[in-house]
Amino acid sequence: MSSAIPLNVGIARSAGTATVDADTAKRVLLAEPRGYCAGVDRAVETVEKALEKHGAPIYVRKEIVHNRHVVETLRERGVVFVDDTAEVPEGAVVVFSAHGVSPAVHEAAAARNLHTIDATCPLVTKVHQEAKRFARDDYDILLIGHEGHEEVEGTAGEAPEHVQLVDGPDAVDRVRVRDENKVIWLSQTTLSVDETMETVQRLRERFPSLQDPPSDDICYATQNRQVAVKAMAPECDLVIVVGSRNSSNSVRLVEVALNAGAKAAHLVDYAREVDPAWLEGVRTIGITSGASVPEILVRGVLDMLAEHGYADVQPVTTANETLVFALPRELRTTRR
């Protein structure tokens, strides 16, 4: 959706410099950073390069990233999304999603002679390596994450005899360990930082010798997007998060916005899902997007808001991201 109404995208400024005047015109605060992270960019490009190299159909186990628009666009280009490698014809090309898979999935693919391309985010792979390392040392591993999420299933599958899922602070009382001096926590990469730290605090109250992961498991992009939302939320009558409902990091951004002081917050995939009733009496709207959201969807929301008088767009910058991950070895050529 395009608009003839020009957007006034102001000079980027640091968080905390904005002031609210009750008599000011309608405005949008645009979070920076937002949208694609390095792992998502790598995963989507992996599928695109696989299509170029092998031609359609290319099979992808689960959704390559949790975004409706991305999945639908790739499906139109000949990508077939499946829930299990058993659905992939023997000998075909299958891409593993950015969320990672367990060793059992790799074994099942090998048994069917599938040509596998692994698009697992390197930061997820890091957590897999941590799980294997501490399992070898016979630790109880408390994996903080959401039950049923593909990333959690893949990480837990690296050491199923050692990993216990802890799905938030309320699950802490159910945790049982063999040796309170050999316990470590790891986490899903896309969680709310604040809720994760609350869970860790509760775990540490039960297990004082609980060890931290060697480095942060919640990824840089998840943290950066939450920090940006926290910076602008107190000034916002409304925060709109562009993202899909099955995207953990996008859902967390809605929660973070509300907890940080936004009067209302909503999650939308597309501009057409923005309810005009949300805008009644609203002067300041915050906009951000999840780590699997292409910028074109954010632009669609900005165009729609401009049509309703929100043409003044003021970036709120809290970090600059430059990280790029290499493609899987079999697809490496000059990056686009």
Look at residue 17 and tell me whether its pLDDT is greater than 60.
no
- In the predicted model, what is the mean pLDDT of residues 292-319? 98
231 within 8 A of 261, measured Cβ to Cβ: no
**The pLDDT value given to residue 118:** 98
Quickly name the fold that domain 121-217 has.
Cobalt-precorrin-4 Transmethylase; domain 1 (3.40.1010)
C-alpha 175/C-alpha 164 separation (Å) is: 8
What CATH number belongs to 25-34+218-315? Answer: 3.40.1010.20
The number of angstroms, rounded, from the C-alpha of 141 to the middle of its chain's C-alpha atoms is 23
* 99 annotated as belonging to a binding site for a ligand: yes
| Mean local confidence (pLDDT), 190-195 | 96
Cβ(12)–Cβ(317) below 8 Å:
yes
- Sorted by sequence, the CB contacts under 8 Å of residue 303 that are 6+ apart come out as 1, 2, 3, 5, 7, 271
Statement: residue 219 has pLDDT above 50: yes
Between CA 248 and CA 259 the distance in angstroms is: 17
Quote the pLDDT of residue 336: 58
Please state the pTM of the whole predicted model. Answer: 0.91
Q: Is 66 annotated as a binding residue?
A: yes
Q: Is 138 helix (H, G, I), strand (E, B) or coil?
A: coil
Confidence band for 9, pLDDT divided at 50, 70 and 90: very low
Q: For residue 250, say whether it is annotated as part of any ligand binding site.
A: no
11, pLDDT greater than 60? no
Has residue 3 got a pLDDT over 90?
no
User: Residue 333: its pLDDT value, please?
Assistant: 77
Q: Which strand (E) or helix (H) includes residue 94? A: strand 93-96
User: Tens of pLDDT along 259-269?
Assistant: 999 999 999 99
Q: Is 219 annotated as a binding residue?
A: yes
Q: Are 43 and 65 in contact, with CB atoms under 8 Å apart?
A: yes
283 pLDDT higher than 70: yes
Percent with pLDDT over 90 in the chain: 91
Whose CA is closest to 117, among 101, 130, 134, 128?
Answer: 101
Taking only the tens place, the pLDDT of each residue in 111-170 is: 999 999 999 999 999 999 999 999 999 999 999 999 999 999 999 999 999 999 999 999
CB 238 within 8 A of CB 285: yes
Residue 23: its pLDDT value, please? 45
> Of 7-16, 95-104, 196-205, which range is least confident?
7-16
Domain 36-119 in the same topology as domain 25-34+218-315: no
* Sequence ranges of the domains in the chain: 25-34+218-315, 36-119, 121-217
Residue 54 among known ligand-binding residues: no
Average of per-residue pLDDT values in the chain: 93
Q: Confirm whether residue 3 is marked as ligand binding.
A: no
> In the prediction, which pLDDT does 21 show?
46
Q: Is 247 annotated as a binding residue?
A: yes
pLDDT digits (tens, 9 = 90+) for 22-74: 445 899 999 999 999 999 999 999 999 999 999 999 999 999 999 999 999 99
Catalytic amino acids?
Answer: 151
Specify the pLDDT at position 280: 97
Note the pLDDT of residue 19. Answer: 43
Is the pLDDT at 248 greater than 60? The verdict is yes
Burial group, residue 33, by CB count within 10 angstroms (0-12, 13-18, 19+): buried
Largest CA distance in the chain: 67
CA distance 279 to 299: 18
In sequence order, the β-bridge partners of residue 116 are 94
Question: Residue 79's beta-bridge partner residues?
Answer: 58
Residue 223, pLDDT > 50, answer yes
- The CATH fold assigned to 36-119 is Rossmann fold (3.40.50)
